[in-house]
Chain A
Amino acid sequence: MSSLTTTVSDALSLLATFDHAVAEIVALSLQVSGGAVALGTLIGLPLGACIAVGRFPGKNVLSVLINGMMGLPSVVVGVVVYLLLSRSGPFGGFGLLYTPLAMIVAQTLLVVPLMAAITRQVVEDVWQRYAEELQLMRFSWWDSVTTLLYDCRHSLLVAVLAGLGRAMSEVGAVMIVGGNIDRATRVMTTAIALETSKGDLALAIALGMVLIVIILALNALAFALRHWAMRRYG
């Protein structure tokens, strides 16, 4: 019991003194996961909306595939990205392996199916109600996609948050493609795993606390935003 108390107390003092190592790791985590979610939003939301609105052969197969990929193991994605970015891989020439950019690529691949699947479901429900009127107004397929994304923007915060949660909490992919290099590619999850294995539980718990606070704060912000939007726009 005293060991736990000491560890938590050390963790809190690390946070209170604004430990430079902790701050660096947190900053890189936000940079990598934020980048991945930004890219995931740009790709996943339009992709999900296109699947919802489009009428094409294989639409159901694609929907099932996207839904299935929501649970893609992060280590599998890590290995695939590793193979693509390693020196002998097709993109090896770019020298991206063991850089934050490689971690962003891996996390983007993880969050895109999740964000696309949630978006498809949200947009499809609205599309069923609006399709006839948009069709009568001679909306092109793309105009319909952009209009629906705009109309669902508050509900789609859920997709963005889900993507952010997935990106910030995963460890396997970033460990493989980033290498967990100190001051280069070490993020909160990989640092927690490493420090725990080394026995430095104080740093691991301090990072865990920061991770939880960040996720809670973002969720609270999204909740408040959605609440405001519902009151403002109905």
Chain B
Amino acid sequence: MAIFPLRIRDLRYQPNGREVLAGIDLELGDEGITLVLGPNGAGKSVLLRTICGLVQPSSGSIVWGEEQGACPAQGVMMVFQRPMMLRASVLHNVALGLKPLALSRREREARAMAMLERIGLADRAADSARQLSGGEQQRLALARAWLTKPRLLLLDEPTASLDPSATAAVELIIREIRTDGTRILMVTHNLGQATRLGDDIVFMSAGRVCEHTAVRAFFARPHSEEARLFIQGELPWRMRFPGA
């Protein structure tokens, strides 16, 4: 099943009448890194969860390639801000991503080991995953997702609460995943990261996409008042939550 172009039309999510996604229109091609920016409560994470099928939209459509419908069974992965770490070794946690595939345990572990070498955690393979630092856990989660060779990778603030050095290590892996041919849609609050990593920016506010434009254009000439105020760190809370 083709995944791209991914077309999202008038996507709405209104749990208990509260408008979290208020008619999202978005189109993604098959290459690059798109950063989703916006204030807290803008609906960024919900958008990612809706795309991968964890949240059922109230209305609207998501068209994968030429087919409208649910998220494809293969090819879409998501890494969360606080990824799952089983009480097991680093190697076991990475190989977990391959469990649903009909591979022998030896094959799964060989592929996981190769992946750990690629992300620089091979020497920690036998350690407990829960004893890794936050940055290392996030690299592990990226490796687990990468191992499944996704066509689209959704990242929900993967570097939140990481120090600059750990953030740089995670960003390096994200770039490598992109070079490997994976399309990335990533939520971040880090404007510096947006300029370093992104090809284009989706700016959201109050459940809507206010802008979808190239990174340079976004920071040089934001079209919407919300984006301009957000970049300057002055977006008033009433504009974030108009219903409040």
| Residues of A bordering B, CB below 8 Å | 129-130, 132-140, 143, 147, 150-151, 153-154, 229, 232-234
**For chain B, what secondary structure do more than half of its interface residues adopt (helix, strand, loop), or is it mixed?**
loop
Are the CB atoms of A234 and B130 closer together than 8 Å? Answer: yes
| Docked complex Cα distance between A233 and B87 (Å) | 5
Q: Is the CB of A133 within 8 A of B80?
A: yes
Q: Determine if B54 and A137 form an interchain contact, defined as CB atoms under 8 angstroms apart.
A: no
- Given A133-B80, A137-B97, residue A233 in contact with residue B52 (CB < 8 A): no
Closest Cβ neighbor of B88 among chain A residues:
A233
Binding site for A on B (CB under 8 A): 49, 52, 54, 73-74, 76-78, 80, 83-88, 96-97, 99-100, 128-131, 148
Given known contacts A143-B99, A147-B99, A233-B130, is B52 in contact with A136 (CB within 8 Å)?
Answer: yes
Are A143 and B100 interface neighbours, CB within 8 A? yes
Across-interface contacts of A154 in B (CB, < 8 A): 87
Return the chain B residue nearest A155 by Cβ. B87
Are B131 and A234 neighbours in the complex by a CB distance under 8 Å? yes
Knowing A138-B74, A234-B131, the reply to whether A151 touches B99 (Cβ < 8 A) is no
Given known contacts A133-B83, A136-B78, A137-B148, A232 and B97 CB-to-CB distance under 8 angstroms? no
Given contacts A143-B100, A147-B99, contact A136 B87 (CB under 8 A): no
From the candidates B77, B86, B128, name the one contacting A232 in the complex (CB within 8 A): B128
Most buried by A among B52, B87, B99: B87
Find out whether the CB atom of B86 lies under 8 angstroms from the CB atom of A147: yes
Residues of A within 8 A of B100 (CB): 137-140, 143
Task: With A129-B84, A132-B49, A147-B99 given, name 12 new contacts (CB 8 A).
Answer: A136-B78, A137-B77, A137-B96, A143-B99, A147-B96, A151-B86, A151-B87, A153-B87, A229-B87, A232-B128, A233-B130, A234-B87
User: Would B88 and A150 count as touching, CB distance under 8 A?
Assistant: yes
Residues of B within 8 A of A153 (CB): 87
Q: Is the CB of A151 within 8 A of B54?
A: no
Q: What is the distance, in angstroms, from B46's C-beta to the closest C-beta of chain A?
A: 13
29 A-B residue contacts at CB 8 Å? A129-B84, A132-B49, A132-B54, A132-B80, A133-B80, A133-B83, A134-B84, A135-B54, A136-B52, A137-B77, A137-B97, A137-B148, A138-B73, A139-B99, A140-B100, A143-B100, A147-B99, A150-B86, A150-B88, A151-B87, A151-B88, A154-B87, A229-B87, A233-B87, A233-B128, A233-B130, A234-B128, A234-B129, A234-B131
Q: Could you tell me the distance between the alpha carbons of A151 and B129 in the complex, rounded to whole angstroms? A: 12
In whole angstroms, what is the CA distance A151 to B89 when docked? 11
Q: Which residues of A contact B54 (CB under 8 A)?
A: 132, 135-136
